[in-house]
Amino acid sequence: MAENNAKTSYTAADIEILEGLTGVRKRPAMYIGSTNLNGLHHLVWEIVDNAVDEALSGYGKTIVITIHKDGSLSVLDEGRGIPVDMHKSTHMPAVQLIFSTLHSGGKFSNKVYTSSAGLHGVGSAVTNALSLYCDVTIFRDGKINHLRFEDGGKLVTPLEVLGTTKKHGSLIRFKPDPKIFSSVEFKYDTICAHVQESAFLLKGVKFIVIDEREGKKVEYCYEEGIKEYLSTLNANKTPMGDIIFFEGEESSIKMEFAIQYAYKDYSETIYSYANNVRTRDGGTHESGFKAGITKAVNDYAEENNLLKGKAKLEGGDIREGLTAIISLKIPEQKIEYEGQTKHKLGTPEALTIVNNFIYTNFTYYLNEHKEFAVNLIRKCVDSQTARIAARKAKDEARSNNKKSKSEMILSDKLTPAQSKDYDHNELFIVEGDSAGGTAKSGRDKIHQAILPLRGKPLNTEVVTKDRMLKNEEFATLISTIGAGVGEDFNPDNSHYGKVIIMTDADTDGAHIQTLLLTFFYHYMKPLILKGKLFVAMPPLYRVWKEVNHKINYRYAWDDVDLEKAKKEIGPGYKVNRYKGLGEMNDFQLWESTMNPKTRQLLKVSIEDPLLAEQRVNVLMGNDTQIRRKWVEENVNFNEVDSFMDEVK
């Protein structure tokens, strides 16, 4: 309406805004991490998070996410509607500012607990800046308000009132710009997995995901929240006792815990969250949780004379077979993270609060459930006994200084590192003997070991554990890493701080990578969870030019990078294309792919535990039809998608 868009001339604010959004388009990765599929979906999370925040504040119980046929995506909530009132100094409606200025979020909200999933804390403006269009409809105060941006955030339809309504809420529809992203195809499965995780954490909020391209639709709504999350994770296990659930609040920190033990399970699975964002590397809340459980179990065992003269239980003894979900809501001003990313909670208060809370409540629970308590302590003592026996056997093997049979097999294949500083050693699993040879002469002999692989590894998804163990390649790999396998695998015993898969950048290489990842996922999952498994990124090109008998050169990792490299080297450049690792000489392989100072590595992560399980089964299982369909729909080997996570 006229009075709402009475702007006729450019102001300083307009110019600032324009520059802000242009900046996002110039350096999108700074705001969304990357311009691959991960980055594309960041746009979605950024928008959805706003709707989630509104629901978290108590407004609106349903959020609808729709992938439209034109490649756009919309998010609809039933909240109060984004404010449309005029902002004083800029003479712009608040909603317009929200979509056109960076970091404006805080100015318009006084929320206490906000989710902040975006790695870089970016705003709706970033999504707008990276879209062909962004269409905003707000149902508020009985009116349907509308405005529209096009071509990277240019306002083409100022705020107008389209009619009246009894509804309230916000509807945002945007279409990502293919000039920015390597792919603009939203993935239904990726969106579902993320949304399901949010739904587990937001008790009672209903999420609907619709894919109009293929007529698919799913609803996620969990009245029981993280309890249902845990029962989904443990669906295929043999539980020991019920799901234990605690919730409480202390100094404005709200906490929820779901805990369950399982028989025949020796792994420890803890998923922790702060303000609905996964804290993948744990932090103070997780440490407090572990300390609380350890003390509660030890005190109980001692008071009831269940240890019978044995030593105190270690934390690890108590956590074998444990699955737990920890969810904390921490007020904005108290939230702190460790490191650059938001993967590790740093808030010191969370440690003591959680520790005391868990100690008190778990102690109470044990006293109220004697049978469970006795079973649990028996299981812990078994773990303790096994741990002590394993340590003893290892010490003996070491003092005998004899090589075991498996160690002898590996000795002629493995080129070991000279250092015994395991944490700083790196194992390169290399495709093919010839690349293995190059890697052997190019490596840092002190800290890098090379294990060449011949041919395609066995598909461990479709064979039994016995057959896998008889396979020479895997037997060698297991003894090389030296930390056991399957239930007995202990990442703390790994002979390498980093295990790096290095294959050619072609489809065969990608297949080998997948087969190895499948193996690690099934038999050495804790290695992945501890962030010790990586994929090397060999460059695809080397751009060079001779100037005054000197060669200037630079490697390039993809086609976009290649264009940059050509510009940097300047007219007269020549390009080598590497079809495989074998086409590089030892120095080139070292400086481009192996040297920690110059290489690019991808850390393998299990972004979403539920989806990862599903994916591995679909991709590697026996049902070739499902598999082919999945591969056709999802696999893009030119691109690193959410199965992995970029580090350097």
Contacting range for ligand TSJ; rule: CB under 6 A; set: 74-82, 339-347, 363-371, 478-486: 74-82
Contact between 109 and ligand TSJ per CB under 6 A: yes
Contacting range for ligand TSJ; rule: CB under 6 A; set: 70-78, 396-404, 413-421, 594-602: 70-78
Question: What is the smallest separation between the CB atom of 132 and ligand TSJ, expressed in angstroms?
Answer: 17
Question: What is the smallest separation between the CB atom of 209 and ligand TSJ, expressed in angstroms?
Answer: 13
Quick check: 520 and 509 in contact, CB under 8 A?
no
Contacting range for ligand TSJ; rule: CB under 6 A; set: 75-83, 201-209, 233-241, 486-494: 75-83
CB nearer to ligand TSJ: pick between 40 and 51 = 51
Contacting range for ligand TSJ; rule: CB under 6 A; set: 2-10, 69-77, 253-261, 495-503: 69-77
Quick check: 347 and 331 in contact, CB under 8 A?
no
Question: What is the smallest separation between the CB atom of 127 and ligand TSJ, expressed in angstroms?
Answer: 8
**Orientation angle between helical segments 188-201 and 226-233, nearest 10 degrees:** 130
The DSSP bridge pattern shows strands 550-556 and 541-547 to be: antiparallel
Binder of ligand TSJ out of 79, 153, 321, 538 (CB under 6 A):
79
Contact between 554 and ligand TSJ per CB under 6 A: no
Contact between 290 and ligand TSJ per CB under 6 A: no
Q: How is residue 13 annotated by DSSP?
A: H
Separation in Å, CA 239 to CA 44, 92, 319: 36, 58, 14
Question: What is the smallest separation between the CB atom of 117 and ligand TSJ, expressed in angstroms?
Answer: 13
Cα separation of 109 and 76, whole Å?
A: 19
Residues 113-142 that bind ligand TSJ (CB under 6 A): 124
Closest by Cα among 188, 69, 103 to 634? 188
CB nearer to ligand TSJ: pick between 136 and 483 = 136
Binder of ligand TSJ out of 37, 56, 73, 75 (CB under 6 A):
75
Closest by Cα among 305, 230, 307 to 262? 230
Binder of ligand TSJ out of 4, 36, 50, 355 (CB under 6 A):
50
CB nearer to ligand TSJ: pick between 95 and 644 = 95
Residues in the chain: 648
**Sign of CA pseudo-dihedral 29, 34, 40, 46:** negative
CB nearer to ligand TSJ: pick between 170 and 272 = 170
Residue 546: CA count within 13 A, CB half-sphere: 2
Contact between 47 and ligand TSJ per CB under 6 A: yes
Contacting range for ligand TSJ; rule: CB under 6 A; set: 32-40, 80-88, 114-122, 182-190: 80-88
Binder of ligand TSJ out of 17, 35, 41, 77 (CB under 6 A):
77
Question: What is the smallest separation between the CB atom of 542 and ligand TSJ, expressed in angstroms?
Answer: 44
CB nearer to ligand TSJ: pick between 112 and 393 = 112
Question: What is the smallest separation between the CB atom of 316 and ligand TSJ, expressed in angstroms?
Answer: 42
Cα separation of 600 and 539, whole Å?
A: 9
Token digits of residue 260: 């369950």
Does residue 561 have an active-site annotation? no
Binder of ligand TSJ out of 14, 18, 25, 83 (CB under 6 A):
83
Does residue 504 have an active-site annotation? yes
Question: What is the smallest separation between the CB atom of 137 and ligand TSJ, expressed in angstroms?
Answer: 9
Cross-strand bridge partners of residue 157: 148
Strands (E), 407-483: 426-431, 448-453
Give the active site residue among 46, 504, 641, 645. 504
- Cβ-proximal residue to ligand TSJ, closest one: 51
CB nearer to ligand TSJ: pick between 109 and 552 = 109
Give the active site residue among 431, 461, 473, 641. 431
Question: What is the smallest separation between the CB atom of 83 and ligand TSJ, expressed in angstroms?
Answer: 5
CB nearer to ligand TSJ: pick between 109 and 595 = 109
Binder of ligand TSJ out of 20, 21, 43, 54 (CB under 6 A):
54
Question: What is the smallest separation between the CB atom of 75 and ligand TSJ, expressed in angstroms?
Answer: 3
Helix or strand run (H / E) with residue 500 = strand 498-502
Cα separation of 462 and 641, whole Å?
A: 24
Q: What totals of helices (H) and strands (E) does the chain contain, helices first?
A: 22, 24
Contacting range for ligand TSJ; rule: CB under 6 A; set: 48-56, 85-93, 150-158, 367-375: 48-56
Does residue 14 have an active-site annotation? no
Give the active site residue among 407, 508, 561, 646. 508
Contact between 28 and ligand TSJ per CB under 6 A: no
Long-range Cβ contact pairs of 436-442 (< 8 A, separation 24 or more): 438/581, 438/582, 438/584, 438/585, 438/586, 438/589, 439/502, 439/581, 439/586, 439/589, 439/594, 440/415, 441/586, 442/585, 442/586, 442/587, 442/588, 442/589, 442/590, 442/594
Cα separation of 600 and 640, whole Å?
A: 13
CB nearer to ligand TSJ: pick between 197 and 286 = 197
**Sign of CA pseudo-dihedral 58, 60, 61, 65:** negative
Contact between 170 and ligand TSJ per CB under 6 A: yes
CB nearer to ligand TSJ: pick between 24 and 569 = 24
Task: Classify 542 as helix, strand or coil.
Answer: strand
Contacting range for ligand TSJ; rule: CB under 6 A; set: 13-21, 76-84, 403-411, 497-505: 76-84
Q: How many residues belong to the site for ligand TSJ (CB under 6 A)?
A: 17
CB nearer to ligand TSJ: pick between 47 and 306 = 47
| Residue with the two structure tokens 């290399």 | 430
Phi and psi of 144, rounded to 5°? -95, 110
Helix or strand run (H / E) with residue 554 = strand 550-556
Question: What is the smallest separation between the CB atom of 295 and ligand TSJ, expressed in angstroms?
Answer: 42
Does residue 77 have an active-site annotation? no
Token digits of residue 293: 């459980």
Residue 307: CA count within 13 A, CB half-sphere: 16
Question: What is the smallest separation between the CB atom of 87 and ligand TSJ, expressed in angstroms?
Answer: 13
Cα separation of 593 and 600, whole Å?
A: 7
Please provide the DSSP assignment of 346-362 as one string.
Answer: --HHHHHHHHHHHHHHH
Binding region for ligand TSJ (CB under 6 A): 47-48, 50-51, 54, 75-77, 79-80, 82-83, 108-109, 124, 170, 172
Catalytic residues: 431, 504, 506, 508
